[in-house]
Structure formats: structure tokens, C-alpha cells
Amino acid sequence: MVDLLEVHKEKSLISIDARDAIRKGYHPRQEILKLVEEAQAPVLCEIHVPHKTGPLVAALEAMGLNVTIAQVDVGHFRLRALKLED
């Protein structure tokens, strides 16, 4: 499943594009949460999805992260969460 996610990591940024995986019918929430959990703080986590994903946002917030949601384009939403502590 992780192979279906497009993941880019830099020192202070992790970008996870799950749009293709979700469009193919997969639900990679656990894989996304694991990538965010494993990312070394401080890091900005950007997650790209094709629609608003309430359960994913709720799970990220349960991890103690504040999540902002922006619609980038039709069928493209970006979730951002700043992870300050491991």
C-alpha cells in the first residue's frame, strides 16, 4: 500500500500524496499516520487527498496535531499539520 503513496521527505517537510491511491479505492489512513508518526520533529506534514477526509483529520488531531485544510484545486485538498514533538 505504501507503494501507492507518493512520499517526499526533506529535513523539515514530509509530503504525502495519497490522491492516486484513494482514487483507486484504497484507504491508506494507517500508512499515512505511520509516516507522520515516524517523521522526526520538528516537521511540517503535508498530505494531499482528493476530497475532505474527516476520519484522517480526526486521527491526526488525536495524535495532538492541529490540522489545516485547503482546497488547492477541484479534486485536490491539502492537509497541513506541524509536528513539533516526537
Give tens-digit pLDDT for 25-83: 999 999 999 999 999 999 999 999 999 999 999 999 999 999 999 999 999 999 999 99
- Write down the pLDDT at residue 86: 82
Question: How many C-beta atoms surround the C-beta of residue 18 within 10 A?
Answer: 25
State residue 71's pLDDT score: 97
Q: How many domains does the chain have?
A: 1
Number of Cβ within 10 Å of residue 49's Cβ equals 23
Domain assignment present for residue 84? The answer is no
Residue 85, domain member (yes or no): no
- Domain assignment present for 35: yes
pTM of structure:
0.93
Examine residue 82 and state whether it is found in any structural domain, yes or no: no
pLDDT of residue 1: 60
What range defines the domain where residue 10 resides? 2-43+52-76
Q: Has residue 65 been placed in a domain?
A: yes
Whether 2 shows a pLDDT value over 90: the answer reads no
Q: Is residue 14 in a domain?
A: yes
